[in-house]
Structure 1
Amino acid sequence: MKFARLGDPGSEIPVVIAEDRTYDLRSVTSDVNGDFLAADPVGRTRAALDSGALPELADADARRIGSPIARPSAVICVGQNYAAHARESGAEPPTVPILFLKTPNTVVGPDDAVTIPRGSEKTDWEVELGIVIGSRAAYLDSPADSAAHIAGYVVCNDVSERAFQMEVSGGQWSKGKASFGFNPTGPWLVTPDEVDVQNLRLRSFVNGEPRQDSNTNDMIFSVAEIVHHISQYITLEPGDLVLTGTPQGVAFGGKFPYLRAGDVVEIDIEGLGGQRQEFKAWEAQA
């Protein structure tokens, strides 16, 4: 099942996409938020579909695509979770997950323009698999317990400013990760039954030229291990978003130039859809 949110920022309509048709979910929920995801979203939506209670949204294709989840209470990220990316960053692969945070207002629609921060010279792209939490997870006993707390998966672009992240960081990464709009998300929230999450191709392109091309089976720490590990330190709430790391092929590795105004980034993950962002100069958006 695919959930999405369509419409102008702040006025998105929750929808479900079934058999290539888009149905209005507002009779079931006001939004694709933590309350909805914690209360059997698939079962409730399936029952509404089967009963004919959900009207088709006729103009769905004409509406903006928002993030498929409402603003989460937390965005928690795993760094250097692909060995080749760790090495292109000048580090050895980690032996325990590296965690950092992005702010909730980084989460925007998958095709929304992204503003390059004021003074930035090193804005970078990162295609990532995102995990959406479906029920509270705290102190899970084992990775095997993680699946019961996952509502689904999304495509994310973990946009980063590397000078802010590394050169003026003070020893942490969030300065380079938390600019407004630095986490385009979607187009869909895809439920776990729809994908083989540890065998998904993920790719990125800049101005049509290939950059990243890898598979989630190359993760150092699996989805189940990530959720289990985070739960030992942070209580995950329904609707929270977890980013699982990016493969090699980013500008930080030195092979490609950083992003400039007018550049277009496209990313996709097998089964989860694709995104397209044009990068804008800060001055033009101030």
Structure 2
Amino acid sequence: MSTEEVKETKLLLIGDIGDGKSSLGNFILKDNKFAVSSGCDAKTQETVGYNGEGNRRNVFVIDTPGLQDSCKMNERWLNAMADCINNKKGVQAIVIVLNYNNGVLSNDLKTMIEIICNIFPFYKFWEHVCVVWTNCYNYTPQKQLDIHKKSKKDYYYPQLKRVIEEFSGNKEEYDIEPPMYYVDSHPDEGCDNSRSEMEIEKLLTWARSFKKPINIKREQKREDSEYKKVVTQEKQRRVEADENNINRMSQVKPMRRDIKIQYNGKVSCSEWEVMESKSEPDIKIKQEKLIQFNCTIL
């Protein structure tokens, strides 16, 4: 059978910056195709994909950046992600990459899930989603791993279900239990990592079970609304002080931006804006009034 006749399995990796998407992609492909960062700084800046080597030549992995601070970069990669899923060749599976040692879903990942819920509103879309836990070290005892597997399922399945139902607007009872795989994708040289390799084989078997790529159904555009959904992202960001400020010290402030999703799935992002908050003079005035009030009572 020629390479052209071999059915290609396409996987799209999404997740937070620093959780090991690129390392996982290399481990799946059995080749160092993706550049890997040594810390929490993002190495992947574009949505890129590669085929593997040898018996993985018919596996195509697409690596994505995490949510970016730059609105233009965010627009570019979110639209590239949507195009990867929407194109004619299609994607069989979406892999949510999580760090095994982290205990909660980050706000950025929740925002990403909300975006996906609105770009791809068809509920059966989630049948094509799985979770891979990275940094699940090969020296972790099997008994301890089994305990952690149960606790993660008991905690994350209800959390994912709640987040997806909230953002999709569908409150009906559905079983959202994406398969979970546990991988040490960056093992020390010479270590036995066969457990992780078996997990990847299970992942690929699951992905290949889909005879067709992800099916996308679009909602009809409403005449009274240009956007299907406006997703608000909030986070603490460091802001440089104004040039006229005597202290000229940067500050960490709560900020927000809007990620707008059109009915055709296209995404646009606004610039970050500082969220309105009470100024220090206002707070001091309130405190002085409270002191006066207490003194009057006494």
Q: Could you tell me the TM-score, scaled by structure 1's length?
A: 0.25
Structure with bigger RCO (C-alpha 8 Å, 6+ apart):
1
Q: Could you tell me the TM-score, scaled by structure 2's length?
A: 0.25
Larger helix percent:
2
Larger strand percent:
1
Which protein shows a greater Rg? 2
